[in-house]
Amino acid sequence: MADDDSSTRLLLIVTGSTLRAEESDRPLAYYLQQKVAAASADLEVTFRTVVVADFRWMNDDPLQVLPTISLGGPGVNALAHKWFDEVPFSLAVDEQYCIQMDPDLDEPRVSIWGMDNSTTQIAVSVFVDRFLPRFLDHAATYVPEAVDPDDSED
């Protein structure tokens, strides 16, 4: 008998495609993936968390409606660049690191980044401690609008 995946939700962690992002942000994304697994277990919610590259997310319309965490700054992550003016800043600390997230989480998307890798690590730690459970709680109940495959052909 097959496992019942009906209660499993997909959550994406998006990193940049640059060499710097692959070297620094992707390992940090896998760390965040572990933190998501631990926090979701505490909430008794199951997420299948997948780390993907920014251009995969940008060019795959069905992925764009899923709960998403962008990791890495606008200079190394095309999604962070796209969201820079779209997603409000929930926290900005001394021009060192930022967490961009809609305070109401109408759409479960967050962008986490710092001015360098060590400040991005701090931003991830702050996100995990202060925002992750609430983000996952909203992501667990979020129902994305369906993407019409015919619309993506234009």
CATH code of 63's domain: 3.30.379
- Within a 10 A sphere around the Cβ of 44, how many other Cβ atoms? 8
Q: Is residue 153 part of a domain?
A: no
| C-alpha–C-alpha distance, residues 129 and 127, integer Å | 6
User: In terms of residue numbers, what domain contains 80?
Assistant: 9-144
Does residue 22 lie within any of the structural domains?
A: yes
Low pLDDT (below 70) residues in the chain: 1-7, 145-154
Query: What per-residue confidence (pLDDT) applies to 46?
Result: 87
Residue 1, in any domain of the structure: no
- The predicted structure's pLDDT at residue 104: 87
Q: Is residue 121 in a domain? A: yes
CA 17 to the chain's CA centroid: 15
Chain center to CA of 13? 4
Specify the pLDDT at position 13.
98
User: pTM for the complete prediction?
Assistant: 0.88
Is residue 154 assigned to a domain? no
Examine residue 84 and state whether it is found in any structural domain, yes or no: yes
If phi > 0 it is left, if psi is from -120 to 50 it is alpha, else beta; for residue 9 that is beta
For tokens 């998006």, name the residue: 14
Helix, strand or coil for residue 51? strand
| Whole-number pLDDT of residue 8 | 74
The total of structural domains in the chain comes to 1
